[in-house]
Amino acid sequence: MFYKEFFEKIEMGENIMENIICIDGVVGVGKSTLGELLAKELGIKLFEEPVVNNPLLDKFYYDRKRYAFSTQVFFLNKRFEMIKEASKLDTCIMDRSIYGDVIFAKMLMEDGDMSKEEFSLYESLLKHMLESVDRPLLMIYLETTVDNAVKKIKERGRDYEQIVPRTYWESLNKNYSEYFSTYNLSELLVINVDNLDIRDNEKDREYFFSLVKNKLAEIGNKATSK
């Protein structure tokens, strides 16, 4: 219900940034890897999620309540900067984007790490930012189970992710499912990656590419038929 009401509040115009493809999914789903592969396949630029050069992220995982609001605003600001820069390019892929930023903020508020007053301020900032940008051409949602996401998180071994309880990843997956069940900001392509080894299996990789290319062709056909 929250996400349905959230989308109803957003007063975005009907303009579409035909050069922007977004890729999203829970932590551990493989967004960055698949984003890199898809960008290479399509010959376009990839905007990476601002994780590596985020001075607050490591602190946040060890003290959520103190750093929740500042970390979320950091991400929001960076994603707004990135979407403005991306809008000037011919075509690009965004590894996460401003459109789905509310998922993490909502969870922080519900878990008590962000106050209701802070969330209200955050939501107001996000609403104004979304209403000042256009819609992306396509949103790709990579769907997965919690077990598979946690397995990949453990394999990549980021210290600050290892201390996160499984219940958090379960809640994140649930929120992603709810968010994309009502998502209406653009064309949406949902791909379940649980049984796909897109990184190392050429057949699976080509299947993934074909799904995206077919969806892009479908969008193009819709546009030309109007």
Q: Which helix (H) or strand (E) holds 137?
A: strand 135-143
Domain boundaries, the chain: 2-11+19-225
| CA proximity to 129, closest of 92, 82, 165 | 82
The catalytically annotated residue of 58, 63, 90, 95 is: 95
Query: Is 26 part of any known ligand binding site?
Result: yes
Pairing status of strand 16-24 against strand 92-95 = parallel
Q: In the prediction, which pLDDT does 92 show? A: 92
DSSP state of 184: -
Query: Is 49 part of any known ligand binding site?
Result: yes
**Is 204 part of the annotated catalytic residue set?**
no
pTM above 0.85, yes or no: yes
Query: Is 220 part of any known ligand binding site?
Result: no
pLDDT one-digit tens code per residue, 107-159 = 999 999 999 999 999 999 999 999 999 999 999 999 999 999 999 888 887 77
Q: Which helix (H) or strand (E) holds 140?
A: strand 135-143
Distance between CA atoms of residues 5 and 10, nearest Å: 9
Q: Where does 2-11+19-225 sit in CATH, by number?
A: 3.40.50.300
